Structure 1
Amino acid sequence: MKTDVTYLGTVINVDSTSIEVEVSEDIPSSAPIINGRLYRIGQIGTLVKIPVGNIKLYGIVASVSNLPNQLNNIDGAVPDKGSRYLQVQLVGEQIGESKFERGIGSFPTINDEVHLVTEDDLKQIYGDQAKGLIEIGKHSSSENLSVYLDLNNFVLRHGAVLGSTGSGKSNTVAHIINEILCSFDGSRIVLIDIHGEYSTAFSNKCKVYKINDTVNPLHVPYWTLNFDELSFFLVGRPNGQERPEDKRLREEILKHKKESADKLKSGNVKTDFITADSPIPFDIKKMWHDFNREVYGTFSKAGAIEQNRDTEELENEGDFKNLIPAKFKPYSVSSAAPYKSKNETMYSYEQKIHSRLKDSRYKFMFNPDEYNDIDSSKDLDSLIRNWIEHDERLSILDLSGVPFELIDITVGIVTRLIYDSMYWGKNESYTGRNRPLLMVFEEAHSYLPRNEGNSHIYGYARKAVEKIFKEGRKFGLGALVVTQRPSEISETILAQVGTFIALRLTNSSDKSTVKSAAPNNMTSLIDLLSSLRRGEAIIVGESIEIPSRVRIKEYTPRPSSNDPDLCNKWGQSFASNENNYKEVITAMREQKHIIKGS
C-alpha cells in the first residue's frame, strides 16, 4: 500500500527484462528508517519489490535519473527536479509463501506499486543455512544477513573467482575451501597451486605434494603422458606432425608398453587394447639406449638390412639405467669392417631424448622413485590414490618447483588422469558419481589461455580442463578457476561457468569479458566491479538465489599471497654481505626454491 513505510513509487514503463519506476514525491526522506534500520533510496545494486496480487516480483536498481528514460536522449528536455526515476532489472519472483525463484512468470503493469526491500524480505530470499549450503559472506547492505551458496550447483555447474591483484581472490578461495571442509566430512578437493601459496593457509587440513619434498614428493611419471604430450616434451614434435622418426618413436613406445602388459601391478591388460597413448609403465632409458646403439653402433656387415644386434662390433654393453651408452669398435674409414651404422633416422631424436633424461629439473618425471618403470613397486592406481584418497580431504599439488615450460603439460596430465579416473569409475562406490571431487585451478590465465601465443603453452592443460567444464558434472567432477585476467581465459571454460564470484576488476577488457559471460544479464551489477571494496564481490549464477553484492568472510591464516610490508622493510637499515646471493644463484641454477623461515 502507498501508506506503507516501504512505499517507493510506481511503475511507468515495462519491457521484457526491466521496468522504470517513478519515485514518489511524498516520500519524506531519501534515507527512511524502517524497523530501526536506515535504507538509502536509489542506490545502484539494491533490490526493490513489486507486489502483484499474491506474487512478489524482485528487481535490482540499474540506474537513477532525474528524467524518464524516454526523455533522456531528447535535446532540450527539462529535468523534473521534483522526481527521480529508477531503471530496474527484473530478476525473480516469490509466489505466496513459497521459495524465491529466479526468472519472471508474470510482469508488472503500469502504475503497480514498487516498495523497498527490507532485511526481512532479504531473509525470505536467502533463507537460513540448510543442508547443501555454505556461507560465502554477508550481504553488503546488511551486516547481519548471511549469504549462502548452493554447493551442489557451485561445484558441479562449475565456478570462477575473478579479480584484480589485491582484490581478495586468495582469501575468497581459502574461505570457500574451508567452508566445504568444515561442512562436509566426505568432501574431496584437489588444488592446483602453481605459486605455492596455500599450504600455509591449510597447514593442518591438507596434504601437500611438491617436487623434491622429502615427505610427500610430487611425481608425474613420464609414461602417464599420451604420445602427443610425450613426443612434444622429449623431442619438440608439434602436434599433428608425423615424420619417419615420429612414426618410429611411436612404434618403439608402443612396443615397450606392450612388453609390460602382463607385468602391471594393478592388473594385466590385453595387448590388443594398448596404444601409444595408454598410461602403461615402460623403461624410457632402455628405449634411449636402443636408439643409441642403433645410431652409433658399428657392424661386421655393411648392408643396412644386415646391420642388427647379431652383427654388432660391441665392446661394452654400457648401462642404460645410468645413461651410459654402449661402446663399439671404431668404424673403418676404408671399405673394410667395422662398418658405420646406416640407421641414422633417429640421430637427432636420440640426442634430444638423452638431453632430457640428463636434465635434473625433470627428475620428478623421469625418476619418480616408486613409479619409475615396470619394475617399480607401484602403479597408476597408487598414484591416483595418493593424490585424492588419504587422511585429509584437501590435496594441494604445489607446482612452484615445476619448470615453467612444463606447467602446461603437468597441469594437463594431472587433470586428465583425475578426469579419466572419475569417468571410467563413474559407477564405483569410492569415486565418480558416488564420491564427487572439486578441482581448483589457481592462476588459471597462466596455463588456460584463450590463444596459445606463448611458446611454452600448447593447449595441453586447456584441452583437459575444458573437458571437465563440458562433461565433468556427469561423472561427479566439478571445477573452479581463479584468475586476475578473465579476458585471457579460454572462452569455452568461461561459457560453461555456472557461478561467477567477481571481485574488483579495473581492466576494461576483463570487465567486458565478465559482462558477456555472466548469466542473468546482470549488466548493472557487473558495471560496479571497478568500485568494489577489497574483499567485496558480485556473485551471480546458479548457486545463489539472487545476484548479490557480498562481503566475503575473511579467512585466517591467509594464503601467502599478500604483498610484502614495503614501508616496514624499507624502514629497516641494511648491511651488505659478501655471501649475499650465493644461495640465490645456486637455487637459480638448480631450479630449487630456498626453504627458510620468513
Structure 2
Amino acid sequence: MKENITYLGVVMNVNSSSVEVEISKDIPTAAPIIDGRLYKIGQIGTFVKFPAGSLTLFGIVSSVSNTPKSLDIESYEPNYGSRFLQVNLIGEKVGSRDFQKGVGTFPTINDEVHIVTEEDLRAIYSNKSERFLEIGTHSSSKNLPVYIDPHNLILRHAAILGSTGSGKSNTTANLIKRMLGKYPGSRVVLIDPHGEYSAAFSDTSKVFKINSQTSPLFIPFWAMTFDELTFFLVGRPEGQERPEDKQLREKIVQLKKDNACRIKSGAIDVNYITADSPIPFNIKELWHDMDREVNGTYSVSNEQDQTRANEKLVDKGDFSKLIPAKFEAYSPTNSAPYKSKKQTMYSYVGKIYSRLKDSRYNFMFNPDDYYDVDSPNDLDHLLREWINHDHRLTILDLSGVPFELIDISVGLITRFLYDSMYWGRNEEYTGRNRPLLMVYEEAHSYLPKSENSSHIYGYARRAVEKIFKEGRKFGIGSIVVTQRPSEISETILAQVGTFIALRLTNSSDKNTVQSAAPNNISSLMELLPSLRIGEAIIIGEAISIPTRVTIDLVEPRPSSNDPDLISSWSKPFNKDVDNYVSVVKAIREQKLN
C-alpha cells in the first residue's frame, strides 16, 4: 500500500495515549493532490488512518516536529528533512460497518499510516438517517455536511461555549431552527435574559415578556416553595426557622388548606398540603391579616384574649388595595385601648408590604388570571401556555425581570417544568413520550459555581443541576450557553455530554473546557483561541468524531450583534432632539420603549 497516493508513513512508537508517526521522506510534496483535492500533511487537528485488513483505526494529529519524542533528544541530531507526528487515536471502522468511537486494537510498530480523504470523512460524518440532524459543514470541506445525534445532544445535555463575538448566539439559533424544521413534534423552552432571540424567531415562537400586550410573562408567587417565597419576601436565609418564620409557615399552610377544595384543576386532600405545595392563596390578604394582628388595639391587655372580638376597630381597610385596618389609638397609660402584644411578625409586615407595593414585581404578585384560587386559570393553563402551543418554541424573555429576581425566576421556571415532566412522565402527550429541551442563555450570570453575589442564592443552579443529573430519565434535556465556562457550576459541566466550543480566548475558560474534554483530544482544544467566527469544535456523545465545524449564519439573526459604530459615529448628532426624556422615563419605569 506504500504506492497508494494516500500513504503517509509508518508507526514508530505506540503508548496508551498516543501514536508517533514518521512521515515518509519519499512523499514528493507536503500538499499532495488526491482525487482533485489538495491535502496539507501534518496540520494539527487533521485526521490520519491506520489500515489493518478490514479494520481501520482513525486518529487526530496533536503535534508536529522534526524530532521524535520517543528518542533521547540529547543524543539525537535533528534531520530537518524528517517529520514526526503525534497522533491521538479516537475510533475505528470495521469493514462496511459504521464508525465507532473508542479503540479495541492498537497499531503496531511499522504499521502503515495514510491520509484521511474526504471520502473517508464522508463515511464517518454524513449520516443522513432520520435520527440525525445536520449542524454545519466540515471546516476543511464546504461540501461535507456534519451530522449530530439530537437524542444524545439533548438528553445527555450539551453546552455551547464561546467568547463574545465568536458566533455563540448564531450557533444557538441555528441549532434550534434546524430542530424545529426537521422534527414536527419538537418542544423547546429558551430562557433569554437579554431579550435577544425574539428577532430570530419572530414567526416561529411564542414570546412571553413582562408587560407584553399579547403574551405577558407571569410567574405566580404561590408556585414558589416556602424557602423561595420567604427569602424574597422577608430575606429569610434557607434552613433558618425563627419564631416568626414558624408563624408565617403556619399561616401560609392554613390559607392553602382553606383553598384545597376550590382549586380550578381539582380538589386536593388537605392531608397532603405543605408550605411548599403550589396552591393559590391571596398574599395581600395574608399581609392584611398580619398587619391587623400586629398594629391592632384591644379592649383587653392579656395577649391570649386579644382576638378580633376585642378589637377597637375603626375601619377594616381593604386588603385588595393594600389599605390596612385602622384602630383607635392605644392609650399611653395602662388603660384601654391596649396596644397589641402580638409583635413577633412586626418586621415582616413592613417587608412584605414594600414588596407588594413595588410595581416591578407585579409579574409575580399580581399575575392576571393566576392571582389566587378565585382567578380563572390554574397551573395547568400556564403549563399549556408555555409548552403546548402552535409554534413549539417558547421564549421566556427575562429582560424585564429585576436583577435580584433572576435567580429565583429561573429556578422556579425550571423546577415547575421539571416537575411537570417528572409527574407526567408516563402521560401520552408529555414526559418520556414527548421530551422537552431547555436552553439557558447567558448561563454564567445565574448558574455560577458558587453563590458569590448578593442576589444569587443558588435557586436556579440547584434546579438546573437536577435536570443535568436526572432529567434524561423523564424526557427533559438541557443546553447551557455561556461565554464564561470557568464560572459555570462544575456539577453542570461534569454532566455535559456534548461540547460545542467556539473561539475561547480567555485561558481559564479554555482550560475549563479542556479539562472537561476527553484526554485523547485535549490537543484539539488548543485550537480554540484560533477558531474563526462561526467555527466550532464539537466533541462528545452527539457526534461520531471530534470535529471542527463551520456553522452557517441564520437569518433573521438574534439581536446580539454589535452596533455599527463606524456608521453611527459618522453621522452628525442633533443636540436639539437628544433630550433623553424617554430614556429617563424608561429607567424609572424599568420598561424598554
What TM-score do you get using the length of structure 1 for normalisation? 0.98
Q: Secondary structure at the match of 1:70?
A: coil
**Residue 329 of structure 1: aligned partner:** 328
Post-superposition offset of 1:578: 6.4
Aligned to 1:69: 69
Tell me which amino acid in the other structure corresponds to 1:575.
N
CA contact (8 A) 1:261 1:269 kept: yes
Instruction: Tell me the residue number matched to 1:508.
Output: 507
Q: Measure, in 2, the Cα distance between the counterparts of 1:243 and 1:366.
A: 25
Secondary structure class of the residue paired with 2:413: helix
For residues 413 and 503 of structure 1, the distance between their equivalents in structure 2, rounded to whole angstroms, comes to 30
CA deviations 1:137-162 (Å, max 9, x no partner) are 11011110000110111110000000
Distance 2:579 2:270 in 1: 57
- Assess if the C-alpha contact under 8 Å between 2:90 and 2:520 holds in 1: no
Aligned residue identity for 2:454: S
Q: 1:521 offset after TM fit, Å?
A: 3.6
Aligned to 1:460: 459
Q: CA deviation at 1:520?
A: 5.8
Structure 1, residues 78-105: CA drift from partner, whole Å, max 9, x if none? 2111210000000000011100000001
Aligned to 2:423: 424
Alpha-carbon shift at residue 70 of structure 1 (Å): 2.5
For the pair 1:593 / 2:584, whether they are aligned, the reply is no
> Which range moved further: 556-565 or 514-523?
514-523
In the alignment, the residues of structure 2 paired with residue 231 and residue 445 of structure 1 have an alpha-carbon distance, to the nearest angstrom, of: 25
1:520–1:541: 8 Å Cα contact kept in structure 2?
Answer: no
Which is further off, 102-111 or 241-250?
Answer: 241-250
Aligned partners of 1:426 and 1:476 also within 8 Å:
yes
Distance 1:306 1:356 in 2: 31
Kindly state the Cα deviation for residue 199 of structure 1 after the two structures are TM-superposed. Answer: 0.3
CA gap 1:122/1:477 in 2 versus in 1, 3 angstroms: same
* 1:448 aligned residue: 447
CA deviations on 1:528-553 (whole Å, 9 max, x unpaired) are 00000000000000000100011112
Deviation at 1:577, TM superposition (A): 2.8
Judge conservation of contact 2:89–2:520 (CA < 8 Å) in 1: no
Contact 2:126 2:144 (8 Å CA) reproduced: no
C-alpha distance in 1 between matches for 2:246 and 2:545: 56
* 1:559 aligned counterpart, secondary structure: coil
Give the match's secondary structure for 2:262: coil
* 1:10 to 2:14 alignment: no
* Secondary structure class of the residue paired with 1:412: helix
* Kept in 1: contact 2:465–2:492 (CA 8 A): yes
Q: How far apart, in 2, do the equivalents of 1:15 and 1:136 lie?
A: 34
Deviation of 1:579 after TM superposition, in Å, equals: 5.8
Q: How is 1:294-305 mapped onto 2 (pairs within 5 angstroms)? A: 294-305=293-304
Of 252-261 and 439-448, the range deviating more from structure 2: 252-261
Structure 2 residues without counterparts, runs of 5 or longer: none
Letter in 1 for 2:196: E
Matches within 5 A, 1:346-357: 346-357=345-356
CA displacement, residues 390-409 of structure 1 (integer Å, 9 cap, x when unaligned) = 11110000000000000000
Task: Tell me the amino acid that sits aligned with residue 443 of structure 1.
Answer: E
**Could you tell me how far 1:52 is from its partner in structure 2?**
1.4
Q: How far apart in 2 are the matches of 1:82 and 1:464?
A: 58
Q: Is the 8 A contact 1:156 1:472 kept in 2?
A: yes
Correspondence for 2:239: 240
Query: Which residue in 1 is equivalent to 2:20?
Result: 20
How far does residue 171 in structure 1 lie from its aligned partner after superposition?
0.4
State how far apart, in whole Å, the 2-side matches of 1:520 and 1:159 are: 18
Deviations 1:435-484 (A, max 9, x none): 10100000000000011001000000000000000000100000000000
Alignment partners' CA distance in 1, 2:32 and 2:294: 88
Secondary structure at 2:12 match in 1: strand
In structure 2, the partner of 1:47 is 47
Kindly provide the amino acid, as one letter, of the partner of residue 254 in structure 1.
V
Q: Partner residue of 2:162?
A: 163
Q: Distance in 2 between matches of 1:127 and 1:510?
A: 31
SS at match of 2:73: coil
Distance 1:478 1:261 in 2: 33
The number of equivalent residue pairs is 593
One-letter code aligned to 2:241: E
Q: Distance in 2 between matches of 1:68 and 1:318?
A: 88
Name the SS for the 2:169 alignment partner: helix
Measure how far apart 1:76 and its partner are: 6.2
| Distance of 2:513 and 2:331 partners within structure 1 | 70
Residue 138 of structure 2 is aligned to residue 133 of structure 1:
no
| Residue identity opposite 2:339 in structure 1 | K
Q: 1:205, 1:392 within 8 Å by CA — same for their partners in 2?
A: yes
Question: What is the deviation of 1:15?
Answer: 0.9
TM-score normalised over the length of structure 2: 0.99
Deviation string 1:337-396 (CA, Å, 9 cap, x unpaired) is: 000000011011000000000000000001101000111000011111111101111000
Q: Give the Cα–Cα distance (whole angstroms) in 1 for the partners of residues 364 and 63 of structure 2.
A: 56
Query: Secondary structure of the equivalent of 1:205?
Result: coil
| Structure 2 SS opposite 1:220 | coil
For the 8 Å contact 1:195–1:399, the answer to whether it is kept is yes
- What amino acid does structure 1 have at the position aligned with 2:314? E
Give the Cα separation in 1 of the matches to 2:562 and 2:506: 20
Alignment of 1:269-348 (within 5 A): 269-348=268-347
Q: CA separation of 1:76/1:582 partners in 2, compared to 1, >3 Å: closer, same or farther?
A: farther
Report what 2:561 is aligned to.
562
Alignment correspondent of 1:177: 176
Percent of aligned pairs sharing the same letter: 65
How far apart, in 2, do the equivalents of 1:500 and 1:215 lie? Answer: 36
Whether the aligned pair in 2 keeps the contact of 1:42 and 1:64 (CA below 8 Å) is yes
Alignment of 1:249-268 (within 5 A): 249-268=248-267
Which amino acid is the alignment partner of residue 24 of structure 1?
Answer: S
Instruction: Give the CA deviation at 1:127.
Output: 2.6
Q: Distance in 2 between matches of 1:590 and 1:527?
A: 47
- How many angstroms does 1:581 deviate by? 1.4
Instruction: Give the residue type in structure 1 aligned to 2:34.
Output: I
Distance 2:470 2:13 in 1: 42
Q: Deviations over 1:310-343 (max 9, x none)?
A: 1100011100000000010111111110000000
Cα RMSD of the aligned pairs, angstroms, is 0.9
Residues of 2 paired with 1:577 and 1:297: CA distance? 57
The amino acid of 1:318's aligned partner reads G
1:112 is matched with which residue?
111
Which residue number corresponds to residue 203 of structure 2? 204
Residues 233-262 of structure 1 show CA distances to partners (whole Å, capped at 9, x for unaligned) of 000011111111111111111111111100
Provide the rounded CA distance (Å) in 1 between the counterparts of 2:240 and 2:579: 48
The residue aligned with 2:360 is 361
Residue identity in the other structure for 1:47: F
Rounded Cα–Cα distance in structure 1 between residues aligned with 2:502 and 2:442: 15
